[in-house]
Structure 1
Amino acid sequence: MIWDAINDPLVGALSDRVQTRWGRRRPFLLFATIPFGLSFLLLWWAPPWESQITLMIHISLAFMISDTMQTLVAVPFYALTPEITPDYDERTSLAGYRMVFNLLASIVTAVAAPMIQDEMLKAGFALQQGYLVTAALFGGLAIPPFLIMFFVVRERFTSKARTATPPKLRETATTLWANVPFRFAALLYMLNWITFDLVALMLPFFLVYWVASGDLLASTSLSGMELSLESAVLGVLLIVAVLAVPFWTWLARRFSKRKAYIGGMVFWIIVECLILIIQPGQTDLVLFLALLAGISVSVAHVLPDAIFPDVIEWDELKTNQRHERMYYGSKNFIRKLTGAFAIFFALQVLGWFGYQPPPDGGCSIYSVNGNTHGDPNADWSGRGPSLDGFCCRRLVLSPYTRAACSHPTSIG
């Protein structure tokens, strides 16, 4: 986590300093992409070392290398959005297209990874070898898209207003805090992904131990195919999320990103509250609610990302300087922080209620249930709908609109 906190602003500052005939961001996509794919393979390699200290050092270094490579690609990649177009609505479309392919990749991964593992085991390979082959495949698939972007994408929109020297840490913090829309966008982004990560982490436990009553091999029929319950639910959710992206993009254009996001979160709150009525064995109801949840998961993936480029434009209009590295470095760090917090919180709650696989006793089942939908009767678990609601309240109070994009002096 300490290295996470350091490398995001470092990479952002580095990308702001780079001046090449290819632009400031694209060189990172050319030179860091292949190491990024190889570093993913390193994460899944289990070295034959018996020393626990040596293994700890290896795992720590593997994570730091992989995290650094991910940052070298991700921060410049996200920083491309405001430099491709200055248009408020076009950025929403860009975020929508990006998330369509993001969700499609998630579907492919969710389906293909278990299939590869099964085939490797049937062929007589060890489980670890299956993991390594899977990592090599997906690490390799991660390389071509970024290289294609390097050759195809152009940094067409470049403002003359640049920071001559990247600011120091205190100046960075002051600039970020002075940007009122950024405060709302950052808080919104954090709460949005904590909610999503908590639900995603606990969903497999909820399906196995509550809906399937502990049956690890529970399956259901979907479109004539016999699928595991988890695969079916995730498949329905992600496919609907992909199909709903054009709708949310249109809604954001028709009204505003703020109104579209609030509508999506209100809908998500309703769906999560409906999870309260699910009883063991009701797989059809689970699939129906997964379909509804996919609609709101779509807006959670698209609109928070579409808001950040506008925050940068507001800052430039106020200061006549561009600080992409600060904002996208902060955004990347916030995403990592929310994921780490969600994992920590979910595991702590399971530990407090004495979870052992399989869970022993009603309290453990209740903790799984509550963490998934945010049962309002449990003080510790009301995180799903409550965070969604808080996201809505923050965005209702947010000063950023399409009109404010053109008149920043009206904000803060």
Structure 2
Amino acid sequence: MGRGKAINSPWMYAFGMLAMMIPSQAFSAFYNYYYLEKLGLGIALVTLAKTIFMIWDAVNQPLAGYFSDRTNSKYGRRKPWIYASIPLFMISFMLIFSAPEGMSQIGLFTWFLVALLFYEAIATILWVNYGALFPELFRGDSIRKKASAIQQGYQIVAILIASAAGPILYNSFGYSSMSIIFGLMFVVFMILCMRFTQEDTTRRDTPKMGLRESFAATLTNKPFWIFNISNSFAQTVNGLLSAMIPFYAKYVLHVEEGMVTFLLASIFVSVIPLVGVWFWIIKRMDPVKAWRLSLLAYAVSVIPLWFGSTLLGGILAGIIVGFGLAGFLVTPPVVNSLIIDRDFAETGRRREGVYTAVSGFIIRSSGLISALAFLIVGMIFGYESGDKPGDDPETTFRVLISVVPLLLLLVSYILSYFVRLRGDEDGSKHG
């Protein structure tokens, strides 16, 4: 592929997803296990840190989108923010997994909280600006479906790299070294993405909304809110599954830590070809209906995890989960772009940044839902930390990896029936 053809191609844009998802997946999959099992931080303190983060996130997410939309430079609206965030994101990720040894509970909690707030602030800037590029670079239903499928394929590769290589790296070299290696991979792939991304300079000249007016319009967009609230429940499952796999391996399947690689790989290796299956499905369906179908498939797919009792059983259950996960990864970006197009048609103003930011905040609230689910189920069955796992940790993690995800996905599926985008089935109307 020549440089000219590579500019703004779905294949090059997707390198940004590959870059960000390698450390993001390592974070979501291993930070609970690192702080609870390895360092012995109490589950109540972990939940408190996540709650404080949500308050902080409620402020920085919308502001990141607002300032991004109002940026007007010769380099574009989004790229300057992304370039500035690259070194800071690597540093913040390393701090998460480099807690000093011998700290008290309060000291360890303080380290985790400060590192978490720093990490999430920089991650917000990256995700908001990267996500805001999608509806601008790819216009029309057909190209968006293709770009989404490619992007999610790269995401699965990233998840597989982090999930499979993570346990090998931290078992061999430690968590801090793992974070350095993944951080360097992020830097290389993110710069590659930006080198082949060129923003549309005409978009920066569209009329600007004030902060209050911009968010007022967002707040009154009913399909946007229902869509993202529904997605937040499903997104909780994504994070919960990744975070619970190490615990599931230890307490339910009774296998060594090294086997976590195979369990995570069983889910994410299967997703790679299944992304292609879902791309074939959504090409033949209305995007909203395809998204709704993916939620139902995801709900059904988590049930077999309850019955796992051996490594082989866990792997087979993981492959089944891969089918549901693949659908949920591919379908939401297409629906979200339709919503943004509707807004532009009604207001004449491009507000991808604000929509991406508010959407990100709603979906990132899934982290709090996950933390609360962990806390509540842990309290019911007596799990506090690796030092105090309670009398029945096996049931604790069967519930957290199967029952809780099933309930969350059923809520998400029911909410999806309240999303109506009639007249937008053909995204080319706005393309």
TM-score with structure 2 setting the length: 0.78
Counterpart of 1:251 in structure 2 is 281
Counterpart of 1:339 in structure 2 is 367
Contact 1:27 1:150 (8 Å CA) reproduced: no
Contact 2:249 2:255 (8 Å CA) reproduced: no
The whole-number CA distance in structure 1 between the counterparts of 2:287 and 2:153 is 17
Question: Which of the numbers 85, 88, 112 marks the counterpart of 1:35?
Answer: 88
Q: CA deviation at 1:172?
A: 4.3
Counterpart of 1:217 in structure 2 is 256
* 2:416 equivalent to 1:395: yes
The whole-number CA distance in structure 1 between the counterparts of 2:201 and 2:421 is 22
Q: In 2 relative to 1, CA 339–263 (structure 1 residues): closer, same or farther, beyond 3 Å?
A: same
The whole-number CA distance in structure 1 between the counterparts of 2:398 and 2:223 is 35
Counterpart of 1:386 in structure 2 is 407
Counterpart of 1:353 in structure 2 is 381
Question: Which of the numbers 174, 180, 191 marks the counterpart of 1:136?
Answer: 180
Contact 2:85 2:122 (8 Å CA) reproduced: yes
Determine which structure has the larger helix proportion and give its number. Answer: 2
* 2:240 equivalent to 1:198: yes
Q: Please give the per-residue CA displacement for 1:188-240, whole angstroms capped at 9, x wherever unaligned.
A: 21121123333333343334323x3xx3428xxxxxxxx61x32221111011
Mapping for residues 93-104 of structure 1, pairs under 5 Å: 93-104=146-157
Q: CA deviation at 1:24?
A: 0.7
The whole-number CA distance in structure 2 between the counterparts of 1:187 and 1:107 is 27
* 2:79 equivalent to 1:26: yes
RMSD: 2.8
Q: In 2 relative to 1, CA 160–29 (structure 1 residues): closer, same or farther, beyond 3 Å?
A: closer
The whole-number CA distance in structure 2 between the counterparts of 1:108 and 1:166 is 42
Question: Which of the numbers 189, 192, 201 marks the counterpart of 2:231?
Answer: 189
Q: CA deviation at 1:327?
A: 1.0
The whole-number CA distance in structure 2 between the counterparts of 1:330 and 1:407 is 25
Contact 1:194 1:342 (8 Å CA) reproduced: yes
Counterpart of 2:323 in structure 1 is 295
Q: CA deviation at 1:275?
A: 4.0
Instruction: Report which structure shows greater RCO (CA 8 Å, sep ≥6).
Output: 2
Counterpart of 1:365 in structure 2 is 394
Contact 2:97 2:175 (8 Å CA) reproduced: yes
Counterpart of 2:345 in structure 1 is 317
* 2:11 equivalent to 1:11: no
Q: In 2 relative to 1, CA 22–266 (structure 1 residues): closer, same or farther, beyond 3 Å?
A: same
Mapping for residues 70-219 of structure 1, pairs under 5 Å: 70-120=123-173, 130-156=174-200, 158-159=202-203, 162-168=206-212, 171-210=213-252, 212=253, 215-217=254-256
The whole-number CA distance in structure 2 between the counterparts of 1:299 and 1:105 is 17
Q: CA deviation at 1:66?
A: 2.2
Q: How many residues align?
A: 374
Question: In structure 2, what residue type is equivalent to 1:391?
Answer: S
Q: CA deviation at 1:104?
A: 0.9
* Structure with bigger gyration radius: 1
Q: In 2 relative to 1, CA 369–389 (structure 1 residues): closer, same or farther, beyond 3 Å?
A: same
Contact 2:308 2:317 (8 Å CA) reproduced: no
Question: In structure 2, what residue type is equivalent to 1:368?
Answer: F
Q: Secondary structure at the match of 1:154?
A: coil
Q: CA deviation at 1:150?
A: 1.9
Contact 1:95 1:306 (8 Å CA) reproduced: yes
Contact 1:161 1:321 (8 Å CA) reproduced: no
Q: Please give the per-residue CA displacement for 1:56-106, whole angstroms capped at 9, x wherever unaligned.
A: 655443333222221221110010001102212322222222221121112
Question: In structure 2, what residue type is equivalent to 1:301?
Answer: L
Contact 1:265 1:391 (8 Å CA) reproduced: yes
Q: Which runs of 5+ in 1 are unaligned?
A: 121-129, 219-226, 375-382
Q: CA deviation at 1:392?
A: 2.5
